Structure 1
Amino acid sequence: MRARSAALAGALALTLVLPAALLTPAGAAGSEVEVSDAMVEVGPEPGGAPVEIDTSTFVPAGGGPHPAVLLTHGFGGSKNDLVGQATDLAEDGYLVLTYTARGFGDSGGRIHLADPDYEVADARALVDVLAERDDLVTDGAGDPRVGAVGASYGGAISLMTAASDPRVDTVVAAITWHDLTDAFFPQRARGERSPGPFKQLWASRFFVSTAAQGLGVPGTDPVCGRFAEEVCAPFLDAARTGRPSTELLRLLRAHSPAPLLGDLEAPTYLLQGMADTLFGVEQSDATAATLRAQDTPVAVRWSDGGHDDLGGSLAADTATIEPWLDHYLRGDGAGDAATGDLPLPAFSWALPRTRGQDSSTVQSGADAEAATYDVLALDGGPQPLANPPGAQPASLTAVPSTGSEAADEFSDVISTYPLAALPGQSVAFDTEELSEPRTVVGSPRVRLRITSTARSSTLFLSMWQVGSGSADLPRRLVAPVTVATTPDEATTVDVALPGGTWQVPAGDRLRVLVTSTDQTYAAPRAARVDVVEVRELRLPTIEGATVLSAEGAGLDDEVVGLLAAIGVVLLGILAAVLLGRRRGHDPVDPATADVPLVIEGLVKTYADGHRAVDDVSWRAERGQVVGLLGPNGAGKTTTLRMVMGLIAPDSGRVHVLGRLVGPGSPVLARVGALIEGPGFLPHLTGRANLEAYWAATGRDAAEAGYDEVLAIAALGGAIERPVRTYSHGMRQRLGIAQAMLGLPEVLVLDEPTNGLDPPQIAGLRPVLARYAAAGRTVVVSSHLLAEVEMTCSHVVVMHAGRVVTTGTVAELVDSSDTTVLTLAAGSDPEVLATTLRRVDGVAEVEVVVDPAEPHVIVVADLPRAEVVRAAAASGADVVGVSSRRHLEEVFLGVIAAASGSDPDLRQVRSR
Structure 2
Amino acid sequence: MGYPHKVLRSTGAGAVSATLVAGAALGLAPAAHAAPTVQAPAIGTATSTATGTASAPGIRFVDIAGDGGTVLKANVVTPAAAADGTRRFPVIVLPTSWATPQVEYLAQAQKLADSGYVVVTYNSRGFWQSGGYVEVAGPQDIADASRVIDWALANTPADPAKVGMAGVSYGAGISLLAAAHDPRIKAVAALSGWGDLIDSIYSGRTQHLQAAAMLGGTAYLTGRPSPELQRVLKDFLGSNLAKEQELIAWGKKRSPASYVDRINDNGAAIMLANAWGDTIFPPNQYASFYEKLTGPKRLELRPGDHATAEATGLLGLPNDVWTDTTRWFDHYLKGTDNGIDREQPVQIKSRSTDGYEGYPDWKAVGPTRKKIALAGTTTVHANVDSGANGGILMLSNALDQFVQVPPVASVPLLPRRYATVWQSEKYGTPQQIRGTAQLHTTVTSTKESGTLVAYLYDVGPLGLGKLVSNAPYTFHGQTPGKPFAVDLELFSTAYDVPAGHRLALVVDTVDPLYIEHNPTGAQLTFSSPAADPSYVSVPLREQ
TM-score range, shorter chain: 0.7 to 0.9
From 515, 522, 530, give the equivalent of 1:528: 522
From 226, 231, 234, give the equivalent of 1:233: 231
Identify if the C-alpha distance between structure 1 residues 414 and 112 changes in structure 2 by more than 3 Å, giving closer, same or farther.
Answer: closer
Residue in 2 aligned with 1:180?
Answer: 197
Opposite residue 146 of structure 1, the aligned amino acid is V
From 371, 379, 383, give the equivalent of 1:376: 371
Paired with 1:255 and 1:312, the residues of 2 have a C-alpha distance of 25
SS of the counterpart of 1:234? helix
1:156 aligns with 2:173: yes
After superposition, the C-alpha distances for 1:35-86 in whole angstroms (9 at most, x for unaligned) are: 1122112223xxxxx5111111100111332111001111001211111111
Residue in 2 aligned with 1:245?
Answer: 244
SS of the counterpart of 1:105? coil
Report if aligned partners of 2:134, 2:226 keep a CA contact under 8 Å in 1.
yes
SS of the counterpart of 1:454? coil
Identify if the C-alpha distance between structure 1 residues 136 and 398 changes in structure 2 by more than 3 Å, giving closer, same or farther.
Answer: same
Report if aligned partners of 1:275, 1:311 keep a CA contact under 8 Å in 2.
no
Residue in 2 aligned with 1:203?
Answer: 212
Paired with 1:419 and 1:163, the residues of 2 have a C-alpha distance of 50
User: 1:430, CA displacement in angstroms?
Assistant: 0.8
Opposite residue 429 of structure 2, the aligned amino acid is E
SS of the counterpart of 2:286? helix
Paired with 1:6 and 1:241, the residues of 2 have a C-alpha distance of 12
Report if aligned partners of 1:66, 1:137 keep a CA contact under 8 Å in 2.
yes
Opposite residue 233 of structure 1, the aligned amino acid is R
From 24, 32, 53, give the equivalent of 2:72: 53
Report if aligned partners of 2:458, 2:468 keep a CA contact under 8 Å in 1.
no
From 427, 431, 454, give the equivalent of 2:424: 431
From 127, 130, 137, give the equivalent of 1:114: 137
1:41 aligns with 2:36: no
SS of the counterpart of 2:259? helix
Paired with 1:426 and 1:114, the residues of 2 have a C-alpha distance of 39
User: 1:475, CA displacement in angstroms?
Assistant: 3.7
User: 1:410, CA displacement in angstroms?
Assistant: 9.7
The alignment's TM-score, normalised by the length of structure 1, stands at 0.49
After superposition, the C-alpha distances for 1:484-527 in whole angstroms (9 at most, x for unaligned) are: 53322221232212111011122211111111111111101413
Paired with 1:36 and 1:256, the residues of 2 have a C-alpha distance of 32
After superposition, the C-alpha distances for 1:232-251 in whole angstroms (9 at most, x for unaligned) are: 11321221236453222211
1:90 aligns with 2:103: no
The equivalences for 1:474-553 within 5 A come to 474-475=467-468, 477-482=470-475, 485-526=478-519, 527-533=521-527, 535-543=534-542
In terms of mean alpha carbon deviation, does 308-317 or 375-384 score higher? Answer: 308-317
Identify if the C-alpha distance between structure 1 residues 451 and 262 changes in structure 2 by more than 3 Å, giving closer, same or farther.
Answer: same
Tell which structure's C-alpha radius of gyration is larger.
1
Opposite residue 35 of structure 1, the aligned amino acid is I
1:402 aligns with 2:395: yes
User: 1:8, CA displacement in angstroms?
Assistant: 6.1
Paired with 2:225 and 2:434, the residues of 1 have a C-alpha distance of 39
User: 1:178, CA displacement in angstroms?
Assistant: 1.4
User: 1:421, CA displacement in angstroms?
Assistant: 4.1
SS of the counterpart of 1:81? coil
1:168 aligns with 2:185: yes
Paired with 1:154 and 1:261, the residues of 2 have a C-alpha distance of 18
1:67 aligns with 2:84: no
From 91, 99, 109, give the equivalent of 2:122: 99
SS of the counterpart of 1:493? strand
After superposition, the C-alpha distances for 1:81-104 in whole angstroms (9 at most, x for unaligned) are: 111111111111111001111101
Opposite residue 480 of structure 1, the aligned amino acid is Y
SS of the counterpart of 2:376? coil
The equivalences for 1:749-768 within 5 A come to none
The equivalences for 1:351-750 within 5 A come to 351-353=350-352, 360-370=354-364, 371-378=366-373, 380-388=375-383, 395-404=388-397, 406=399, 415-417=408-410, 421-475=414-468, 477-482=470-475, 485-526=478-519, 527-533=521-527, 535-543=534-542
Paired with 1:414 and 1:6, the residues of 2 have a C-alpha distance of 28
1:79 aligns with 2:78: no
From 148, 168, 177, give the equivalent of 1:126: 148
SS of the counterpart of 1:342? helix
Residue in 2 aligned with 1:269?
Answer: 271
Opposite residue 42 of structure 1, the aligned amino acid is G
Report if aligned partners of 2:432, 2:494 keep a CA contact under 8 Å in 1.
yes
Identify if the C-alpha distance between structure 1 residues 10 and 177 changes in structure 2 by more than 3 Å, giving closer, same or farther.
Answer: farther
SS of the counterpart of 1:212? helix
SS of the counterpart of 1:432? coil
User: 1:133, CA displacement in angstroms?
Assistant: 4.2
Paired with 1:408 and 1:57, the residues of 2 have a C-alpha distance of 33
Report if aligned partners of 2:352, 2:495 keep a CA contact under 8 Å in 1.
no
Report if aligned partners of 1:197, 1:242 keep a CA contact under 8 Å in 2.
no
Paired with 1:235 and 1:210, the residues of 2 have a C-alpha distance of 11
User: 1:183, CA displacement in angstroms?
Assistant: 1.6
Identity %: 22
After superposition, the C-alpha distances for 1:262-291 in whole angstroms (9 at most, x for unaligned) are: 111201000011021111111211211221
In terms of mean alpha carbon deviation, does 295-304 or 419-428 score higher? Answer: 419-428
Residue in 2 aligned with 1:260?
Answer: 259
SS of the counterpart of 1:137? strand
Paired with 1:485 and 1:385, the residues of 2 have a C-alpha distance of 17
SS of the counterpart of 2:440? strand
Opposite residue 246 of structure 2, the aligned amino acid is E
SS of the counterpart of 1:101? coil
Residue in 2 aligned with 1:865?
Answer: none
Residue in 2 aligned with 1:342?
Answer: 341
Identify if the C-alpha distance between structure 1 residues 9 and 537 changes in structure 2 by more than 3 Å, giving closer, same or farther.
Answer: closer
Report if aligned partners of 1:272, 1:281 keep a CA contact under 8 Å in 2.
yes
Report if aligned partners of 2:61, 2:76 keep a CA contact under 8 Å in 1.
yes
Report if aligned partners of 1:437, 1:505 keep a CA contact under 8 Å in 2.
yes
Report if aligned partners of 1:428, 1:512 keep a CA contact under 8 Å in 2.
yes
5+ residue gaps, structure 1, are 16-28, 45-49, 140-144, 188-195, 215-225, 335-339, 355-359, 545-911
Residue in 2 aligned with 1:284?
Answer: 286
SS of the counterpart of 2:103? helix
Identify if the C-alpha distance between structure 1 residues 285 and 495 changes in structure 2 by more than 3 Å, giving closer, same or farther.
Answer: same
Report if aligned partners of 1:7, 1:211 keep a CA contact under 8 Å in 2.
no
Residue in 1 aligned with 2:43?
Answer: none
Opposite residue 296 of structure 2, the aligned amino acid is P
User: 1:436, CA displacement in angstroms?
Assistant: 1.8
SS of the counterpart of 1:495? strand
After superposition, the C-alpha distances for 1:728-787 in whole angstroms (9 at most, x for unaligned) are: xxxxxxxxxxxxxxxxxxxxxxxxxxxxxxxxxxxxxxxxxxxxxxxxxxxxxxxxxxxx
SS of the counterpart of 1:428? strand
Paired with 1:461 and 1:311, the residues of 2 have a C-alpha distance of 29
SS of the counterpart of 2:439? strand
1:319 aligns with 2:323: yes
The equivalences for 1:837-848 within 5 A come to none
Opposite residue 296 of structure 1, the aligned amino acid is G
Higher relative contact order (CA closer than 8 Å, sequence separation 6+):
2
Paired with 1:420 and 1:155, the residues of 2 have a C-alpha distance of 42
Identify if the C-alpha distance between structure 1 residues 511 and 366 changes in structure 2 by more than 3 Å, giving closer, same or farther.
Answer: farther
Identify if the C-alpha distance between structure 1 residues 266 and 329 changes in structure 2 by more than 3 Å, giving closer, same or farther.
Answer: same
What RMSD in Å do the two structures reach over aligned CA positions?
3.3
Report if aligned partners of 2:310, 2:321 keep a CA contact under 8 Å in 1.
no
